[in-house]
Structure 1
Amino acid sequence: MKNFMRKITISLVLLMSAFVLAGCGSSNKTEGNNSSNGDYSKLRVALISDTIGTEQFILQAYNAVGAAAEKYGFEWTSIECTDTAAWEENTRAASNEGYDLIIGIGWQAADPFSEAADEFENTKYAVIDTTASNDKVTSIGFKEAEGSYVLGAMIAKAFPNESLYGYISSFQTQATYKYRYGFEEGVKSLNPNAKFMYNFTNSYSDTSLAYEYAVQQKAAGANFIFGGVSASGNSGIYQAALELEKKGTPIYTTGLSIDQTTEDNKYIIGGLIKDTAVCVNTIIDEFLSGELQGGAQLLGIKEGAFGVVGITTETMNYKNTEILTDEVIEAGKAAAEDIKSGKVTIVVPEESKN
């Protein structure tokens, strides 16, 4: 009888253990895809960025996280950084506070997120517009060459008789070469004999040097100058455009990352757009479905993450119809469709600086 009771006791213990393990397995699965029943109220998401202010590049992401939180019901916070040290401190603080997903905007996020990902294994990390060295971090980048190609096709259509096209950039790196290469290929798709002039400010904010280079490129014969310094640094080119107008020698230019067209300066005729909202939505959707993987992925024209003002967007702040004619818009849309369909594929080689 004792042996019989002992067998019953052991069986009950084993049965209870099975239930406990099954319960743990269910719990882990819920944490893995963050909700098996659609209840995300216990999830916590943090967005870390530079000071937001009116910076549209960050505001797009900020608004996207807020909209997703309202849609899905998770808790979220926005943490702003004033310098590199703040990035490290805020990343560690958010990690220690147990946020389930931490998203960083910009290159400053790469290093602190890479370090934290090894230490805080229950937290998912994602960065936008940079690439983290740690494959545990999801890195969302852009196919800059695609949008630049579309813009180049537009500019070639708008200025078909030009022999020289200008370009002012921040630094001469492989990252900026993607813009230059795509733009050059786009222009050459309609104007195969085109030549290009490049200058680099070696700064994201040196508006004075951007101004000087714009004046020099105009003197060299460029009537169009690609504004590739930064959304703020381009203002030096914009100032040059207004002052050259007064001298009767106007130039035309473009914006970067956001729609910088404005009625106050009709010489800004378009530009490129990085839509960080699309990146945020991709990250959150994959996270909530348990499909967020580490490593790098690139989003471009097809995904709506990297586009061209007035082509991949339905509206623009200001449209200079004297330059952006129906034919120019059609040329841009045709180039975008060629990329979406796979008819045109932009493979950016390593830049040769010889």
Structure 2
Amino acid sequence: MRRISRLTRVAVGVASLALAATACGGTSSDSGSKGDSGDTKKDLGLAIAYDIGGKGDQSFNDAAYAGLQQAEKEFGYKTADIEPTDGETDADKEQRLTSLAKQGYNPVIGVGFAYTAALEAVAEKYPDTTFGIVDSVVEGENVASLVFAEEEASYLAGVAAAKATETKTVGFVGGVDIPLIHKFRAGFEQGVKDTDPKVKVISQFLTQTAEEGGFSSPDKGKAAAEGQIEKKADVVYQAAGLSGQGVVEAAAKAKVWAIGVDSDQYQQEALAGYKDFILTSATKEVGGSVYALAKSVEDGKPRTGTQVFDLKVDGVGLSESNPKMAEIEGLTDAVAKAKEGIVDGSIKVKSE
């Protein structure tokens, strides 16, 4: 129930603050729910196409699926969620999105920046279908770009890491060396240094491109974390999708702290064996954004334009599921103070 209430709160936050209108000039549309053939869609609802790693990553994609489940339960319509394939091209993604739009799903959401080119092509062909893309900006009158202030959540993770470390060394493992993951690193490093300038941050990216497996290789994540732990890191934060499971495993085996990402990984069943060593997670409400877009379409007022989910609307945050957080002196208060500063603007978080 906690997860569902959070998704609903994010949707309410988007509506009440009119984020689409205030963030990057986005707009809301009153367009109907029709396909390019003019046939009214009455039976089919939300469809999502997963990013690399697919469902079961305990992170980014699973968060999107939680939003789909909430929409399916609340609106009582048929949904669809489609897995990626290994080595697929933009043409494959375009075909997947086209198929969903043709079948009458609305909205259709590409989960991840990898869908940028495909969605640009497909959205133009189906002007009366609402499309969404997570973690990228695509221009289009029928497109909602769902982006997050990952640097803000990562800043809070950095504050927590600086308070938790005993060796004065912490680590960051990013899946792929791209601007999106740079935001995670930048916020984390700033949060650490603002809290304790004496703490050293070891940062590493697993691969240069997603095709090399940076987001889908737990073995790579494990090896990177082990290397950082050998260098005395006793807190390791990962932003690496499925690869992050390897980071968590390495931290647990070494009995040091891991910080999860995207979802509250302390609560993830697949990571239950390591949960005692998952200090917290820098969350981003991918599920909330997916649900919010589905709700706007269901209400007949589909949101479009760039929509930013930040701390102000609980679009990002830091989980508090592990009771051990409260046992670390000063951690809870420091995180609360940092969040207040970010929200009121007194703390400016870097994104690069």
User: TM-score scaled by structure 2?
Assistant: 0.73
2:47, 2:108 within 8 Å by CA — same for their partners in 1? yes
Deviations 1:276-323 (A, max 9, x none): 22102332344355654543222122211222111xxxxx2x4435x7
Question: Residues 157-176 of structure 1 correspond to what in structure 2 (within 5 A)?
Answer: 157-159=163-165, 162-176=167-181
- Matched AA of 1:215: E
Partner of 2:84: 82
The partner residue of 2:124 within 115, 118, 132 is: 118
**1:216 pairs with 2:227:** yes
- Structure 2 CA distance for aligned equivalents of residues 57 and 204 of structure 1: 10
- Matched AA of 2:84: T
The partner residue of 2:244 within 216, 219, 234 is: 234
- Matched AA of 2:182: Y
| TM-fit CA distance, 1:71 | 4.0
Deviations 1:113-151 (A, max 9, x none): 211111112112111233336564211011100001111
Partner of 1:193: 198
**1:302 pairs with 2:312:** yes
Partner of 2:273: 264
1:110, 1:133 within 8 Å by CA — same for their partners in 2? no
1:271, 1:309 within 8 Å by CA — same for their partners in 2? yes
Residue aligned with 1:307, SS? strand
Rg: which structure is higher? 1
- Structure 1 CA distance for aligned equivalents of residues 127 and 222 of structure 2: 48
% identical aligned pairs: 22
Partner of 1:16: none
- Structure 2 CA distance for aligned equivalents of residues 222 and 205 of structure 1: 23
Change in Cα spacing, 1:200 to 1:285, as seen in structure 2 (3 Å) is same
**1:143 pairs with 2:149:** yes
Number of residue-to-residue matches in the alignment: 300
Residue aligned with 2:171, SS? strand
| TM-fit CA distance, 1:173 | 2.1
Change in Cα spacing, 1:221 to 1:45, as seen in structure 2 (3 Å) is same
Change in Cα spacing, 1:328 to 1:87, as seen in structure 2 (3 Å) is same
Change in Cα spacing, 1:341 to 1:208, as seen in structure 2 (3 Å) is same
User: TM-score scaled by structure 1?
Assistant: 0.73
Gaps of 5+ in 1: 1-29, 35-39, 245-249, 311-315, 350-354
Question: Residues 275-354 of structure 1 correspond to what in structure 2 (within 5 A)?
Answer: 275-288=285-298, 291-310=301-320, 316=321, 318-320=322-324, 324-325=327-328, 327-349=330-352
- Structure 2 CA distance for aligned equivalents of residues 212 and 61 of structure 1: 28
- Structure 2 CA distance for aligned equivalents of residues 243 and 72 of structure 1: 43
- Structure 1 CA distance for aligned equivalents of residues 84 and 30 of structure 2: 33
- Structure 2 CA distance for aligned equivalents of residues 240 and 69 of structure 1: 36
- Structure 2 CA distance for aligned equivalents of residues 78 and 201 of structure 1: 31
Change in Cα spacing, 1:296 to 1:332, as seen in structure 2 (3 Å) is same
- Matched AA of 1:64: G
Q: Specify which structure has the bigger relative contact order, considering alpha-carbon pairs within 8 angstroms and separated by 6 or more residues.
A: 2
Partner of 2:211: none
Residue aligned with 2:265, SS? coil
- Structure 2 CA distance for aligned equivalents of residues 328 and 90 of structure 1: 45
Residue aligned with 1:271, SS? strand
Residue aligned with 2:176, SS? coil
Partner of 1:13: none
| TM-fit CA distance, 1:82 | 3.4
- Matched AA of 1:109: Y
- Structure 1 CA distance for aligned equivalents of residues 218 and 186 of structure 2: 24
- Structure 2 CA distance for aligned equivalents of residues 169 and 132 of structure 1: 24
- Structure 1 CA distance for aligned equivalents of residues 102 and 220 of structure 2: 43
- Structure 2 CA distance for aligned equivalents of residues 57 and 169 of structure 1: 14
- Structure 1 CA distance for aligned equivalents of residues 175 and 167 of structure 2: 24
Q: What RMSD, in angstroms, separates the aligned Cα atoms of the two structures?
A: 3.0
